[in-house]
A and B are shown apart, each in its own frame.
Chain A
Amino acid sequence: MSTAAELNPKDHDQAGSPMTLTADRPATDAKPAGRPAKVRARGESSTWATVLSHGTLLFASLIALFPVLYIAYISLGPDDMDYLHPAKIMDKATFANYGRVLGETDFLSWFGNSAIVAGGTTLIGVLIAASTGYAVSRMRFAGHRQLMWTLLVTQMFPIAVLIVPMYYILSNLQMLDSYTGLILVYSATTVPYCAWLLKGYFDTIPVEIDEAGRVDGLSPFGTFWRLILPLARPGLAVAAFYSFLTAWGEVAYASTFMLSSSKYTLAVGLNSFVSEHDHQWQLMAATSVLIAIPAAVVFYLVQRHLVTGLTAGAAKS
């Protein structure tokens, strides 16, 4: 945080538009306040624009961080009413809640289940989304437009319509209460967006690469696997991130389809925990922090790809 606060008036690449006061339009509502970026500075570096943007970004960062820090802080309070008097936690902060969560609950087995399901969803979801995205991006087969349209429409299905019939199908396929069933359900929810995203990303990779691969004797599938996938790493990273997070944090499907407590995922386990321990918020807070850590790790691994991966496609199209 400290680095951010430093000002550097000498920095010549300050993109801050000098915000000349000659602006002939008085339209100064919220948006123009965030000035257009990428303006090559022409000598004048406007210190106050820099101060203002650092200020805004600091404020926004604070808001972004606060709920996360708050729950971590609450998790240190030993009593279940501590969340009502946050100030008092400071004096008696302890990691005892973490000990109890790890030692006295099924946390570790829920954690394992979640890891299996989220990992499986990421792997299967991204793989089939990538092959679909590639097919739509490169091959003009009959129905490719309808396919993309269908993928978009599946985003619109409310859980309420799907959940009961899905239950029947899974029970008919003997997949209730199994990892495979839940992985497939999650893949079905993540694949449409991932395929859409990856199609956009593949569109930005020159077709000449495919053609070169074909000339060198690779099959279309070989081209996809050996040439295009490695090039699409940022897009794949984002798709994997999205799939992982969706599966890691989903509640409704998991609580309907996973019946035995040995198969609970974290989200379901956390819920059972509330009724069992009768609103022991401090334990829930500790569990939440433990749950957030793997997500944060995955996030950290992919974050540098996020910007390019997310919009490379959408920006060009």
Chain B
Amino acid sequence: MAVAVVQRIKLSYSKYWYAYAMIAPVVVVLGVLVGYPLVRGFYLTLTNATSLNVGRQIGVNHIPDSFDFVGLDNYADVLWGPTAYDRFWSHFIWTVIWTAICVLLHYSIGLGLAMLLNRKMRGRSLYRLVLILPWAVPTFVTVFSWRLMLADGGAVNGLLSMLHLPEPGWLSDPLAQKCAAILVNTWVGVPFMMISLLGGLQSIPAELYEAAEMDGASAWQRFRYVTLPGLRTVSSTVVLLGVIWTFNQFAVIFLLFGSGAPDAQILVTWAYRLGFGQQPADYAQSATYGILLLSILIVFTTFYRRWLARNEKANG
């Protein structure tokens, strides 16, 4: 093995030139379309740019930028300014709750279904096909369908009334809006988790379960000491991706509520609204939210990876 590694490293020197050639397209595309906008976005956060004072083209006349550099004022205003709670912190708290609940539901439902699908049973591939389906439906179609179902006379409330349960106004009542958003996002997000975890389950050698059973391990013990550790690498990746994607889940909330429902807006949709949903559009504040979002995720990821590494060490 060691020899192979050494050989590979030797070989890699001669491949250097190719390596850079092969990553070049991605680096260029990301650099131009993501890197530069990020830098520019960060610069905007230090100014008071709005749609009124940004340079633009009207007919043949070019109007130059006329916004000013204001330093860190935007950050101070978003974090500590008057009504900062309503504008930022309430959305921040809801975003964190939203992310935690959604990822937890995605993961636990996904794992449960994956374990059922991993058993040998009749109709397994049909079940699998049907259960992945929500992933294959474009989000705006999904959300549109859910909106019809959650509407006041829609299918969901029809079912609830049949069961003699209360019928909340899913698209109008603030708390019900949040539940509706979580419900829809769970429906959208489970298939990815389920399939990823199913792949993980299939890579756990059956011998481990046999050995555990020989040793008299109960079903729960086999789950706890064989399944979960066996899934650790897959889990750590999909949970991280899940957190990032859910935190930035723009489409579901935006399409479900449009410009209504101020309480149910998570930070991304709120930032979009500041930048596009109002007149004049506040580019600087919108970008400030964006940079804060990004920082939160980077901090989270750093701690998460450190925590993973520590766990890895502790578990050998």
Contacts and interface: CB of A to CB of B under 8 A. Distances in A.
B272 interface: yes
Given A131-B23, A298-B136, A161 B294 contact: yes
A163 to B, nearest CB: 7
A179 B126 CA distance: 37
Contacts, number: 384
B298 interface: yes
A32 B219 contact: yes
A53 interface: yes
Among B30, B142, B206, B213, chain A packs the most CB atoms within 10 A around the CB of B30
A19 B221 CA distance: 11
Given A22-B218, A139-B19, A152-B301, A166 B37 contact: yes
B220 A57 contact: no
B29 A188 contact: yes
A276 interface: no
B38 interface: yes
Contacts of A157: 34, 38, 248, 290, 294
Interface in A1-50: 1, 3-4, 6-8, 11, 13-17, 19-20, 22-25, 27-28, 30-40, 42, 50
Among A61, A185, A187, A307, chain B packs the most CB atoms within 10 A around the CB of A307
B11 interface: yes
Contact of A65 (B133, B155, B298): B133
Contact of B37 (A27, A169, A314): A169
B153 A84 contact: yes
Nearest to A255: B276
A294 to B, nearest CB: 9
A220 B18 contact: yes
Interface string B274-303: 111000000100110111011001100100
A165 interface: yes
A195 B30 CA distance: 12
Contacts of A65: 130, 133
Contacts of B139: 249
A237 interface: no
Interface residues of B, number: 125
Nearest to B154: A83
Among B23, B108, B117, B218, chain A packs the most CB atoms within 10 A around the CB of B23
Among A161, A184, A256, chain B packs the most CB atoms within 10 A around the CB of A161
Given A165-B36, A165-B40, A191 B244 contact: no
B72 to A, nearest CB: 17
A221 B289 CA distance: 42
Interface in B223-256: 223, 226-227, 233-234, 237-238, 240-241, 244-245, 247-248, 250-251, 254-255
Contact of B127 (A57, A152, A191): A57
A31 B117 CA distance: 14
Given A140-B12, A160-B275, A160-B286, A34 B111 contact: yes
Contacts of A31: 108, 111-112, 223
Given A4-B126, A84-B151, A306-B195, A141 B16 contact: yes
A224 interface: yes
Contact of A67 (B30, B140, B187): B187
Contacts of A99: none
Contact of B153 (A85, A245, A270, A295): A85
A32 B12 contact: no
A258 interface: no
A4 B123 contact: yes
Interface string B184-219: 000100010001111111111010011001000011
A4 B127 CA distance: 8
B141 interface: yes
Interface string B26-69: 11011011101110110010000000000000000000000000
B168 interface: no
A4 B122 contact: yes
A136 B121 contact: no
B98 to A, nearest CB: 14
A34 B293 CA distance: 36
Given A28-B220, A128-B29, A292-B141, 6 more contacts: A17-B219, A83-B148, A138-B15, A191-B30, A249-B140, A256-B276
Interface of B: 4, 7-9, 11-12, 15-16, 18-23, 25-27, 29-30, 32-34, 36-38, 40-41, 44, 108, 111-113, 115-123, 126-142, 144-146, 148-149, 151-155, 158, 187, 191, 195-204, 206, 209-210, 213, 218-223, 226-227, 233-234, 237-238, 240-241, 244-245, 247-248, 250-251, 254-255, 267-268, 271-272, 274-276, 283, 286-287, 289-291, 293-294, 297-298, 301
Which 7 pairs of residues, A with B, have the shortest CB-CB distance? A311-B199, A249-B138, A161-B290, A165-B37, A299-B136, A4-B123, A160-B271
10 contacts: A3-B126, A53-B116, A57-B113, A57-B116, A86-B155, A128-B26, A158-B248, A188-B33, A303-B129, A303-B132
